[in-house]
Amino acid sequence: TVAATLPYANEGPLIVAHRGASGNAPENTMAAFELAARLGADYIEFDVQLSKDGELVVIHDRKVDRTTAYKGFVRDYTLQELQAMDAGSFYDKDYAEETIHSFDEVMNRFAGRLGILIEIKDPELYPGIEEKLAEKLRRYEGMANGRGLKANEGIMVQSFDFESMRHMHDLLPGVPVAVLVHKDQHPLSDKKLDDLASYVTYINYNQKLLDEQMVWSIHGRNMKVMAWTIKKGRDMKRMKRLRVDGVIGNYVGLG
Ligand code: G3P
Ligand code: CA
């Protein structure tokens, strides 16, 4: 596994704000990320895809339909077009100023302030997205940007696509990677877990599927485990009992 320097919480699991504090602000916007920072999250999580002109952009769905007033695939719009879209009104009209952002805009504002968990969304749709992201992250690694960020401290990359994360690890071994596990991959076999232990730092599991046995199997191989998506206090309690290393949730401060 990877030797990582990450900001571990002193007590309890790392608190990761899913798409920012998306329970209380429009997902994947500056408002949601700022709120997460203000509420004391350890990390923000957000999703990246590629625009028509090949730029990394921060949005969850393949299409812009749900979170903007436009229709169609993210990959059919340029960065400039995406940056002009209101991505806040779908949540509440008070957030009409919020827009879709480039990866750089989010990183320039938050890297070094709190941890960053980047999800590569649907990498099979975007050949070369791992190389693009690796190139960007190499730049952050070099810059120690005056906010105490060094050697990618506090930056992690995750995906549901295991091979994409293996590739990311090969490109940038100093940046911890995680695989997301949902019902189709569950339960992970011993063979699969052994293979994952050769390149991942975290296994990020659908919380509904996670049990004591799986947490032991992951910890026993020197990997860590996070649970998603936590929306209720009682799920948070169960995850703490299971001694997970991180929770990815829509509300910061669930107890
Ligand atoms: O971080 C876990 C979670 O983000 C994965 O699901 O669909 O919200 O990206 P999704
Ligand atoms: Ca995500």
State the CB neighbour count (10 A cutoff) for residue 204: 28
Query: From the alpha carbon of 160, which atom of ligand 1 is closest?
Result: 5
| Domains in the chain with CATH codes | 14-62+101-249 (3.20.20.190)
Question: Where residue 117 falls among pLDDT bands split at 50, 70, 90?
Answer: very high
- Residues 43/16, Cβ–Cβ less than 8 Å: yes
Say if residue 9's pLDDT is above 60: no
CA–CA gap between residue 103 and residue 83 (Å, rounded)? 11
Closest CA to 57 of 74, 41, 39, 37: 74
Query: How many Å is the Cα radius of gyration of the chain?
Result: 17
CA–CA gap between residue 230 and residue 207 (Å, rounded)? 7
Q: What is the mean pLDDT of residues 178-203?
A: 97
Q: What is the mean pLDDT of residues 75-92?
A: 98
Q: Which residues are catalytic?
A: 18, 60
Ligand nearest the Cα atom of residue 205 = 1
Closest CA to 103 of 46, 32, 153, 164: 46
Say if residue 200's pLDDT is above 60: yes
Ligand nearest the Cα atom of residue 227 = 1
Q: Strand 101-102 and strand 56-58: pairing? A: antiparallel
CA–CA gap between residue 229 and residue 239 (Å, rounded)? 11
End-to-end CA distance of the chain: 31
Task: Tell me which of 10-19, 81-90, 94-103, 166-175 is least confident.
Answer: 10-19
Q: What angle do CA 152, 156, 161 make, to 5 degrees?
A: 140
CB under 6 Å to ligand 1: residues?
18, 45, 47, 60, 119, 180, 204, 228-229, 248
223-238 pLDDT, tens digit each: 999 999 999 999 999 9
Question: Where residue 153 falls among pLDDT bands split at 50, 70, 90?
Answer: low
